[in-house]
Structure 1
Amino acid sequence: MARPSGDRHGQARRTPLVATALTLLLVASSHAPASNAQSATATNGADALPGLQSAATTSPGLATTPPGPAAASDATRFRVLLAPSQDTTLSSRMEGTLEELPVSLGDSVAEGDLLARLDCRIEQARINVANTELSMARLNNEAKQNLRRLDAVGDLEVALARAEVEKAQSALNLAAAQRDRCAVSAPFAGRIARVHVKPFQTLAAGTPLVDLVGDGVLKVRLNAPSRLLPSLAVGQALEVSVNETGQRYAATLSAINARVDAVAQTVELEARLEAAHDELSPGMTGTAILIPASGAATGSATGSETGAVTDTETEAAEASP
């Protein structure tokens, strides 16, 4: 028996609705685990957040934590360069041929030792001429004085003869000064750091001959940030660690530059070591720690952390009863 056409049309309309409902159920069931996982993750993250906040609060590396002694020592540690207290480049004071060069690289010299000598035969000849002219002027002066006692000449001629003697003496002094320029002597005790010329070389005036580095206590050169100027003072203590020797040395701040480098925002400082050390040489490098004047009383307590205690003080402390 055939069904009415109205039933067929109603069934056809319900079929798409049933299919749509089934699709929505499947989609909802597939997203439910993911939503649960996200909710669990969010819950776990919320539970872990107090722990993270606690760790951030107690972490020593954050800016909210006050810096310890190590951070303070790093803030006052600077690169340094050891320099001689005296050094110079000695040059030729005249033109000529280098006749003698008795020194070589690394030689130790005393004040006044001969470093170089040029050919001085021309200058010596001028001295001989000046000596002869001085002798003639003296003889003429004696003759004029004898004639004046006999009233054979006037006072003017005697005065002119005396002036000729003085003129000849001045010429001799000039020739001697020119001869002295042939020899170059050490102005202070030290060591030869460089030799610029060779024997028998023809030189012009002003030609560098040797570099001389003075003996004695070395200087320490360093640059500090200009923001530290209010805390810097001449006489302030430093602890210098030299890379080449691996040892520490006591020093004292001796000079502060009057001008600040506007580009680098630093100020140049100079310090002097407390004593001379044979193992140290100019040009060695290292680091230095500025010891604040206010921290001198507590220096022994923080010495192991900042390196402010010298080896000499340590040995003295160990030797004391």
Structure 2
Amino acid sequence: MTKRFIIAIILLALIGGGLVGFNKFREGMIAQFLANRPVAALPVETVLAEAATWQPALNAIGTINAAQGVELTVEAAGIVRAINFAANQDVAEGDTLLQLDDEVQRADRDASRSQLDLARAQLDREQALQSRGVASDARTDETRAAFDAATAQLARSEAVIAQRRLIAPFDGTIGLPRVDRGTYVSPGTIIATLQDLETMRVDFNLPEQVLPSLRIGQQISARIDGDTRSFTGEVTGVDPRIDPGSRMVAVRGNIDNSDRVLTPGQFARLRIALPPEDGVITLPQTAVSISLYGDFVYVVRMVEDDPDTLEARQVFVTLGRRDGARVEITEGLSEGDRVVSSGQNRLNNRSVVSLAETTAPDVTE
């Protein structure tokens, strides 16, 4: 019984040892096969880090307004007798847009005119008598005062009649009429809006740090959501006071709108061009990877002991200003470095790579 037990143990030991030896032999052969197998290169697209002319810019968002825009109101109360405009009509400065009932005021003006004629006749008679030495100076002075009072009363009557008309204060496009004929209106009632759409005004804010870079006359480029065109203008004003609450400075610019594309109240994305700078290294923003340890790029370099093989080296960089799809690199790269711009999500440090047939486009917008 004992002999059989010993033989079974020996057989189990031989079988177990054989299995362990076979597994070690297999693992060794697999490792040897993989060690001799060439590593597959990952295709990537690259761009060259070149020092070029950089056009810095300030970016902001703002609101489009008409260069001149008002809500038209009347100065006096009364009943609307005539509306002399239609919606979206172009009007000229001085045009009569609305007429209130002025029959009573015209009657007062006629009475004032008659009183002025009488006062003028009396003054002429008194002056004739005074020239012959018949009338006294005091009497002549009283007559002249009455004439001046009648003149002033007529001017007042004319002014009251003028208040019964709504006059266009400048050339522009008028909006929807908000009253109808026969409506009783009072001072302050909004009749319509008038906008000068030939030139638009854009108001926006920038951080106080950029105040030294702002100048009157700087070029502005504006874009509107839903429109691919770019509208140009210039800076016309910079508020000399910084808002202590937001630490922002208010800026205003004018944009030509002769084609009537822009509308007051629109949201605009603005770009203010600054003087160009030479020798600045920039990359497409897609070439930069973000991590908890910092911003980095992959630079393609030759393997030291194998010049025919390329590998991707992870290089940490310091980013500067951004403009559109490009970003300035202030530290970490040298001119001429070949940087991976597409396909870096598959890479690790020292991954073997191959250059794709086409390089990434140089996107500037």
**TM beyond 0.5:** yes
Q: Secondary structure at the match of 1:216?
A: strand
Match of 1:314 in 2: none
CA-to-partner distance for each residue in 1:217-264, whole Å, 9 max, x for gaps?
A: 211222212222222222222221122432012221111122323333
- Between the aligned partners of 2:256 and 2:87, the Cα distance in structure 1 is 28
Match of 1:250 in 2: 232
Match of 2:165 in 1: 183
Q: Secondary structure at the match of 2:75?
A: coil
Match of 2:62 in 1: 80
CA-to-partner distance for each residue in 1:170-213, whole Å, 9 max, x for gaps?
A: 11111111111111111111111343322211122222222110
Q: Secondary structure at the match of 1:267?
A: strand
Instruction: Give yes or no for contact 2:223–2:230 (8 Å, CA) kept in 1.
Output: yes
Of 188, 209, 216, which residue of structure 2 is paired with 1:206? Answer: 188
Instruction: Give yes or no for contact 1:99–1:199 (8 Å, CA) kept in 2.
Output: yes
- How do residues 107-256 of structure 1 correspond to structure 2 at under 5 angstroms? 107-256=89-238
- State the 1:149 CA deviation: 4.6
- Between the aligned partners of 2:247 and 2:128, the Cα distance in structure 1 is 79
Match of 1:261 in 2: 243
Instruction: Give yes or no for contact 1:194–1:212 (8 Å, CA) kept in 2.
Output: no
- State the 1:116 CA deviation: 0.9
Amino acid at match of 2:200: L
User: Whose RCO is larger (CA < 8 A, sep 6+)?
Assistant: 2
Match of 2:308 in 1: none
CA-to-partner distance for each residue in 1:26-79, whole Å, 9 max, x for gaps?
A: xxxxxxxxxxxxxxxxxxxxxxxxxxxxxxxxxxxxxxxx9x99xx97x83221
- The structure with the largest alpha-carbon Rg is 1
- State the 1:279 CA deviation: 2.1
- State the 1:306 CA deviation: 4.5
- State the 1:117 CA deviation: 0.8
Aligned residues, how many? 234
CA-to-partner distance for each residue in 1:64-120, whole Å, 9 max, x for gaps?
A: xx9x99xx97x8322122211111112111111111112233221111111111111
- Between the aligned partners of 2:232 and 2:169, the Cα distance in structure 1 is 29
Structure 1 moving runs of 4+ over 4 Å:
none
Match of 1:284 in 2: 266
Of all paired residues, the percent bearing the same amino acid is: 21
Q: Which has the higher strand share?
A: 2
Instruction: Give yes or no for contact 2:61–2:267 (8 Å, CA) kept in 1.
Output: yes
1:80–1:148 Cα change, 3 Å? closer
Amino acid at match of 1:116: L
- Between the aligned partners of 1:208 and 1:192, the Cα distance in structure 2 is 12
Of 49, 73, 77, which residue of structure 2 is paired with 1:95? Answer: 77
Instruction: Give yes or no for contact 1:236–1:293 (8 Å, CA) kept in 2.
Output: no
1:194–1:267 Cα change, 3 Å? farther
Which sections of structure 2, spanning at least 5 residues, go unmatched?
1-48, 284-321, 325-365
Which sections of structure 1, spanning at least 5 residues, go unmatched?
1-65, 308-321
Q: Secondary structure at the match of 2:264?
A: coil
1:124–1:215 Cα change, 3 Å? same
- Between the aligned partners of 1:149 and 1:236, the Cα distance in structure 2 is 71
Q: Secondary structure at the match of 2:169?
A: coil
- Between the aligned partners of 1:269 and 1:76, the Cα distance in structure 2 is 12
CA-to-partner distance for each residue in 1:120-177, whole Å, 9 max, x for gaps?
A: 1111011011011111112222332343355443222122222221211111111111
Instruction: Give yes or no for contact 2:176–2:192 (8 Å, CA) kept in 1.
Output: yes
- Between the aligned partners of 1:203 and 1:178, the Cα distance in structure 2 is 16
- Between the aligned partners of 1:244 and 1:194, the Cα distance in structure 2 is 25
1:247–1:254 Cα change, 3 Å? same
Q: Secondary structure at the match of 2:175?
A: strand
- Between the aligned partners of 2:94 and 2:226, the Cα distance in structure 1 is 32
- Between the aligned partners of 1:221 and 1:184, the Cα distance in structure 2 is 30
